[in-house]
Amino acid sequence: MEFFKNISKIKYEGKDSTNPLAFKFYDADKVVAGKPMREHLRFAMSYWHTLTGEGSDPFGTGTMDRPWNELTGMEKSKLRAEVGFELMSKLGIDYFCFHDLDIAPEGNSLKEKQENLDEMVAYIEELMKKTGIKCLWGTTNAFTNSRFMHGASTSPNADVFAYAAAQVKKAMEITMKLGGENYVFWGGREGYETLLNTNTELELDNLGRFLQMAVDYKAKIGFTGQLLIEPKPKEPTKHQYDFDAATVMGFLRKYNLQDHFKLNIEANHATLAMHTFEHELNMSRINGMLGSIDANQGDLLLGWDTDQFPTNIYDATAAMLEVLRNGGIAPGGLNFDSKVRRGSFELEDLFYAYIAGMDTFARGLMIADEMIQEGFFDNFVKERYASYEAGIGKKIVSGEVGFEELEAYALTLEEIKNTSGRQEMLEARFNQYLYK
């Protein structure tokens, strides 16, 4: 059955097309920097925002006009899956990401939940075979149900820890069954509301224990996907333990987990932590920890996770520069953890939104590649730091000198000459690439 009857497969029509249902920049098989765009970008649909989100917010009920609105239970889950795979097929999206709770009804017990999952996994496997669409990553939802009100692996309640463990175990199993290339941990309610009632030390140690168990279980079942942690600084809890990339990397080092996890960086989480998106990507990359990307966009004048579809070309270009310098994002990808605005409630808005996001990143990829090919920025940076490639600088880098040698050297210096950072010139140059 076809749901988007008036919408055929979205085609690339070029930058001058006025067809809102066409790509202006994303040309999946066009080769950029040595491989097809689709292999650079590895776009994924987020199951939750696309298929289970209803458009509700803290001040209003759902608005979304969806074919499954009147259904319940397994029937609803199956219809969502079918619609989702049609959407991906028509958009030419090669991957999807999911929480267990997105794909199957929760049921009345853990056992029922697991059975529902098994049934839906089989159903989705069929759709995957039919369409060739793959699973980028799976995860568990250990934050929506009220039992997680005080956290999951950091809950003060050991039963909740156990329950969350059971959820991750199952979610990892089904991710493996679906051929998922990654498994993600987002610490939904792993944080605290007030220190007055919280033992942060025990909670963080428990989080470390939990992740070690995940590493152990992964080895045991032979899951070869990449494990990812997704930082977020706040919301829903006042303080989330996985505040930002630096915090998570420090945590991993403390608990000796740094060889088992990489990071899943989300643009809107970066800005909620008062960082740019590219900062978080950069910090992850230079630590060898850039694993995957949640592509969306926040509103820097608002203080919550708006999860907008990414349309800012500056941010997309800066992100793709980091991805290219990382040697690519695989086995991760670009998951659109983005939702249509509450007022964009019609089915076709899903297409407009994905097209907007895909075109933005395609354009970002093209510009970033051009920048790297041309070498202008790289050369500027290389020259700026040239003093570390010879003389005293080289000795600093190689560890040949200490404070005493450096003092002796400094005492011989006449006035120190710096060079301009040229920020304005570089920003103007960046702008030129937008119009090429």
Catalytic residue ranges: 99, 102
CB of 129 to a second copy, least distance (A): 29
- Kind of pairing between the strands at 191-192 and 239-240: antiparallel
Site for a second copy in 221-240 (CB under 8 A): 233-236, 238-239
x/- mask, a second copy, residues 242-261, rule CB under 8 A, reads -xx-xx-xxx-xx-------
Give the H or E element holding residue 12: strand 11-12
CA distances from 77 to 51, 72, 132, 177 (A): 9, 8, 20, 18
Q: Give the position of tokens 């989080």.
A: 207
CA distances from 379 to 34, 260, 372, 376, 424 (A): 22, 35, 10, 5, 17
What is the three-class DSSP state of 285? helix
Are 231 and 245 a contacting pair, CB within 8 Å?
A: yes
Q: For a second copy, which residue of 86, 123, 260, 276 counts as binding (CB under 8 A)? A: 276
Q: Which is nearer to a second copy, 42 or 275 (CB)?
A: 275
CB of 81 to a second copy, least distance (A): 22
Site for a second copy in 348-377 (CB under 8 A): 349, 352-353, 355-356, 359-360, 363, 377
The full length of the chain comes to: 436
The tokens describing 389, both together, are: 């490639």
Residue 5 sits in the site that holds a second copy (CB under 8 A): no
Site for a second copy in 99-158 (CB under 8 A): 110-111, 143-150, 155-158
The tokens describing 335, both together, are: 């998951």
x/- mask, a second copy, residues 405-424, rule CB under 8 A, reads -xx-xxx-x--xxxxxxxxx
Q: Name beta bridge partners: 230.
A: 186
Residue 42 sits in the site that holds a second copy (CB under 8 A): no
CB of 172 to a second copy, least distance (A): 8
Q: For a second copy, which residue of 1, 6, 58, 327 counts as binding (CB under 8 A)? A: 58
**Residues in contact with a second copy, total (CB under 8 A)?**
153
Sign of torsion over alpha carbons 64, 300, 48, 243 = negative
Are 216 and 229 a contacting pair, CB within 8 Å?
A: no
Q: Which is nearer to a second copy, 100 or 359 (CB)?
A: 359
Site for a second copy in 283-312 (CB under 8 A): 283, 286-287, 299-305, 309, 311-312
Residue 31 sits in the site that holds a second copy (CB under 8 A): no
**361 vs 295: CA distance, rounded Å:** 9
Q: Which is nearer to a second copy, 127 or 171 (CB)?
A: 171
